Structure 1
Amino acid sequence: MNKKKVVVMGGGNGSAVSLSALKQHTDMFDISAVTSMVDSGYSTGAMRKKFGILPPGDIMRASVSMSKYDYAILKSIFYKNRPTSLEKINKDLNAERGPSLGNLFLLLVSQYEGDFVTALRALEEIVESVGHSYPSTLEQSNIVVELENGDIIKTEHKIDEPDYDRSLKIKRAWLDPEVPAYKDALREIREADAILFGPGDLYTSIISAMLPTGIKEAIDESKAKLVYVVGNAYHTEGETGPEKLSEFVNQLESYLPRPLDVVVYNNTELNNLQVETYKKRGWSLIDCDMENINQDRLVCGNYERSSGGLCPEKLGMIFKSLSSQCK
């Protein structure tokens, strides 16, 4: 059986869910990631300012999630656990939380080797990733959004953790400065059988990965099926994007050269334990207005963890069932 070439576009934890799901079926899929490069918060943002490094956090998680080893363990080692004993670097970065091991590795190797992608490939070699991550761009840039009242908000951190009136929704997004897409990322997109978007924050994770110059054209040139993994929730206090399923779809499509082929939605009815998990993590459920969605492209299924949150193993089975649609 010929494997399907699948590219996941996005950033942060969302892409890691889809990549973890796909790696369950490496007999069917060749996987890669094209990752947003606009993260500006916490230690990642501090590293960008002090060392001029490309933001390492999101793409590090994408690479680690493709490891043949358990992602939950690797996530704790490379991302979640932050050393408090590194007094000098923590002081120099002056970040709200210290740097992760993964970020420190990419910083050290990229500075020593003089190349960010070389550092990324070294990390993937260490964790034995089954695919590669590609930065959406190799140049520094920030995401900027215009709110519906005309206000302009700059940088991912200020958009992702807004201090403005939350009733003001995001109207449009762009990069400042405009930057070209990484040529290897464009190649991956053009050669893909399927391009998966998400899950994750619509603007600061997914759309931001699509904004470098050339990516929209590469998607248009590809013959890939376009698949949006919506999940079922959004961060209650996060970016002021859509709240209805149809709005998520419509706003993503406004940045694409053609309509989505498949929309994957988690239609699980949460139990009490899962509801409590959502409350603790600050998640609100998406308003599922299915009457406003083309039913022919909507794929609903249960890919919820028993404890709450998206389950890569269950999502992987949905991807497996969809593979026949990729010609």
Structure 2
Amino acid sequence: MGGLPEFWLRHPPGWQARVLWPLGALYGLIARLRRHAYHSGWLRRGDVRVPVVVVGNIFVGGTGKTPMVAWVVRRLQASGWQPGIVSRGYGGRATSWPQTVHPDSDPALVGDEPLLLARQTGCPVAVGPDRVAAARRVVAAGCDVIVSDDGLQHYRLPRAVELVICDGARKLGNGLCLPAGPLREAPGRLATVDLVLSNGYAPELTPYWFDLVPGAMRPVAAQAVGAPRPAPGETVNAVAGIGHPERFFATLEAMGYRVIRHSFPDHHAYRPDDLAFAGQWPVVMTEKDAVKCAGFAGENSWYLPVEARPDAQTASQLDACLARLNRCQSR
């Protein structure tokens, strides 16, 4: 569970990708025409009245985008901006949109990543399929800049800065568009954005990169007491319902844990039975999963927070992009 088709990641492309290549080429062409229609004015963008920073990707799987959104928001806050965050709210089942996300919101209604960002950053967050409407919601709350978690292909949303996050391990997969490969847009799209960042060092893809640095494990249930924090060398039941579960498992192994892998689909709606594993090993999950499991996780359940940490050159380039916000016109 939780993985991508193996042939999407095979390079050079295998027979499955070659069979699906015409559909992938058509998908890429439609994506390019949509972008051109908005860029040329054939289709009109919404007006949100403040600059927008889009942190997105062209790869359908998880790339570490959400931790970088939190980094950008904190950088803007440190520079005197009052940022707000908008997101699609994948997995949210609210009956009306947009939704304002509060630290105590129900992730089943608003989605896991927006709730995580609301708790981490403390800034206004709004979600909905129409990101323009969500952006207007946070502007009405007093925000003077918007950071869009994903939305690179939501061209109705204007943008002053486009940041694209790539996975340093999987890179661009086989380099083909859906359904022949994992890309939402053709690789040439990367040449049009302000900055391409890699989660993990990948100089053949981009010179700019960041690591996801783990912090200390914390109990999933806020009131949990008694169980000792798992120590390196112990066996743990590792739970990940994210776009790239293997990255989380590899992080735990690098920290010295013996890992029993339990992967779930991205944005999985957890039930208590999902965490009922044989044996007495601690359960360790991602922070994104923890926001959905806090109500029923056992006292020996933990989450591992991670923080995006760019190298000095990358941080300087990001700062240069954000410094242009006062001068940029949304495009």
Q: TM-score range by the shorter chain?
A: 0.3 to 0.5
TM-score scaled by length of structure 1: 0.36
TM-score by length of 2: 0.35
Q: If you compute each CA radius of gyration, which structure gives the higher value, 1 or 2?
A: 2
Greater RCO between the two (CA within 8 Å, min separation 6)? 2
